[in-house]
Every structure is written in structure tokens, then in C-alpha cells.
Amino acid sequence: MENIALIESFSEFKDDKFIDRVTLMSILEDVFRNALKKKFGSDDNFDIIINPDKGDLEIWRNRIVVADGEVEDSNQEISLTEARKIEPDFEVGEDASEEVKLIHLGRRSILALRQNLISKIHEHDNTNIYKQFKELEGEIYTAEVHHIRHRAIIMLDDEGNEIILPKDRQIPSDFFRKGENVRGVIESVELKGNKPSIVMSRTSPLFLEKLFESEIPEVFDGLISVKKVVRIPGEKAKVAVDSYDDRIDPVGACVGMKGSRIHGIVRELGNENIDVINYTNNLQLFITRALSPAKVTSIKINEETKRAEVMLRPEEVSKAIGRGGHNIRLAGQLTGFEIDVFREGVEEDVELTEFSDEIDSWIIEEFSKIGLDTAKSILEQDINDLVKRTDLEEETVSEVIRILKSEFED
């Protein structure tokens, strides 16, 4: 019973772990074989017999019987006199089996065995957790806020697994309290050492796509497919949807009556403004829809350079560009085209790059980011609005306007 008692003492913490008895016995055998290697130099001549039903384990050492005084390897050979202490009828050349009690390994070895067993079971648990969450990558998951740090929120799920929500994966308006449930998409799962690192994201476009799947039955059932999602987290998003069933209006089904269906998604994302667009293979029509709510007059597409020149009435330009340039930036990401906006009826305009000898390139780039890449497109704007929409100082914007005005005055 000595072995059984020791095994039970080793596995007393088993009930707190998600590990079955058979697996525990397998780990036990591995741990004991390592201990035998350390003590005897080899475990090749040992038999380990496990009975998982009873939780019993026996260790038998097999040695060849040799004449007294001829033992060269005490682990592989046993003298005739010693062998006959086990069984009196042993003869030279026979195999002698002797049971090894764990208690005979010594107190230090038993303590090492216990520590090694704990380590192996933790490793087994971590491997299982890694496999479990690896299969959940890209799926929505819910966990409870456990600890709030400056660079990340540490969360625990119902099984006590730790999930990390880094600051840069949080929507800017996110504010969480300890004990609050948080939804996000499992973005990555990695093994760091022997411990799984599970990272959640609320800023990933995939999170928005999965929210459509969970909140809109037609998307979940596959009647409506989400073709592409682009986001500026917490600000604006564009979602292209399609349906193979002509009887279904994919945009209407996703938005719902008076926005009823999409309202929950918008609220989850911190009131992120979501444009749902009908997908089409017709590039001109797709770009036109992507620039909504602006009404496009005409489009000229260059598929080789992936650029589109869009003509708009002057009053539609600001709608196409959007606050902070968000609308035109997302339209470009959604369609895969660099979109250049031109004002209908505006003549003798000059590209901003023509002023590169007087205006620094990084300043030109700042204006370009918000869709302003010609002289008149900037001159039509209010100075205060330009300062808000770019990262430029008022003094810099005023100087640019002075340079551009002088060009047309000349």
C-alpha cells in the first residue's frame, strides 16, 4: 500500500485540475521514469505497472543473475546470493525481478518527484488551455475584468483562464470597472514558455464582423455574407454586405427598422458610426456607394495604379471626405483604391505637390490625409476647421494659405 499512499499524496490537488485519472497515471509514469534514470542511470530494465482504476502503481527492477563477485553493473546485474534473498531457487543466467518501493528512493527524491509531478500537470493544463483557445481565435469571447493596469486589462473567464486586453486593442471610449463583463474577439494565442498568452481585441475589424454574425440572424444563417469590414475604432466603420437571395435586402436586414438591429452593435462599439453598404463587382458603383453619404457626379478608374478620380459638386466634397478625413480613408480601404476628389466646375486648380519648394512634404502629407490635395480645396476651407482636422499648428496653416493665395493672385 506504500505506493498507493504516495500516489494519493502526489495527486491530492488533482480535483482542482481538469485532468482525468488515466492522464494523471500517464504523467506519473513519465515522472517516475525520470526519477529512476537519475537514481540508477537508466530505466530500460524497469517495468512500471499502472492500474488507473485503483490508482495503484508498481515498479519492478529486472536484473540478470551472475555469480558472486562478478557483478559489473549493479543496475543491470545481481549476484546469486542477493538474488536468492528474493527467491531461493534463482540460478546464474536467469532474470530476477524485484519490486522497488517508492519509499526506497529516499526523502529527497520523493520531494523532487512531487515537484516534478506538479510541474508536469501544470504543463498539461497549459497545453490544453492553449489548444482550447487556439481553436477560438477569431471568435467572440466574454471575460470578467479582474485587474486594471495602465497598458492592459487583465480578465478571467469562468474557468479562471487569464485573458489580456491591451490598451491599443481597446476602443478609445472604453472604460471598464473591476467585475464588469467585456466582449471582444480572441486575436492571438501563443505559448510563452509553458504558459499560454491569450490576447483579446475590441478594435479588430473581425470583432465587428463577428458582432454582425451574432446579432443579425440572416448573417448567422449565411443568407447575408459580410464581404469586407474596415474601421477607425470608436469613430467610423464601413461594412460591405451581399446576399445570394435577390429577395433579401442585405443593407435593410442588417440595419433593421429605424436602425433597430444595428443599434446594439453601435452601442457595443462606443457609438461607432457604421455605414452598411451593398457590395457589387461593379467598381464604379462600389466606389460610389463607399463614398456615401456623398453623391458622386462621375468616376474615372485606373485599375493598374488602383486610383480613382471622383468628380463631385462642391457642396458634396466635405461629405465625401468626412470628419477628420475618415469617410474617404475608409472608402479607400474598403474598395482597395486610392480615391482623389475633384470639384465639379472648378478650373485652373493646382496640385499641392506643385508647391513642394515652398511647403514641406510632411505638411502636404497632412493635408492629403484628409483628402485635400489641391490649392483650391484648401482655400475653400475654414482655417479653424483645418487646424482641427490636421495635426498642424494654426500658424503653419495660415502660412500655407498665404502661399496658395499668392499663387492665384499672381
pLDDT of residue 55 exceeding 60 = no
* Segment 361-390, tens digit of pLDDT: 888 888 888 888 888 888 888 888 888 888
Q: So what's the pLDDT on residue 255?
A: 93
Mean pLDDT for 157-182 is 93
Class of domain 136-203: mainly beta
Domain boundaries, the chain: 2-130, 136-203, 204-279
Winning range, highest mean pLDDT, from 8-12, 284-288, 294-298, 338-342:
284-288
How would DSSP label each residue in 43-88?
-TTEEEEEETTTTEEEEEEEEEEE-TT--S-TTTEEEHHHHHHH-T
Do residues 358 and 312 make contact, with C-beta atoms less than 8 angstroms apart?
no
CATH fold label, 204-279: GMP Synthetase; Chain A, domain 3 (3.30.300)
Winning range, highest mean pLDDT, from 69-78, 178-187, 380-389, 394-403:
178-187
Residue 15 contacts by C-beta under 8 Å, 6 or more apart in sequence? none
Q: So what's the pLDDT on residue 306?
A: 92
CA neighbor of 310 nearest in space, from 340, 268, 278:
340
pLDDT of residue 133 exceeding 60 = yes
How far is it, in rounded angstroms, from Cα 372 to Cα 84? 99
The CATH code of the domain at 2-130 is 3.30.1480
- Phi then psi dihedrals of residue 291, to 5 deg: -85, 0
3-class secondary structure, 312: strand
Q: So what's the pLDDT on residue 34?
A: 81
CA neighbor of 227 nearest in space, from 248, 216, 243:
243
Q: So what's the pLDDT on residue 281?
A: 93
Please state the pTM of the whole predicted model.
0.63
Q: So what's the pLDDT on residue 148?
A: 92
Cite the DSSP H helix spans in 271-372.
Answer: 283-290, 314-321, 326-335, 361-369
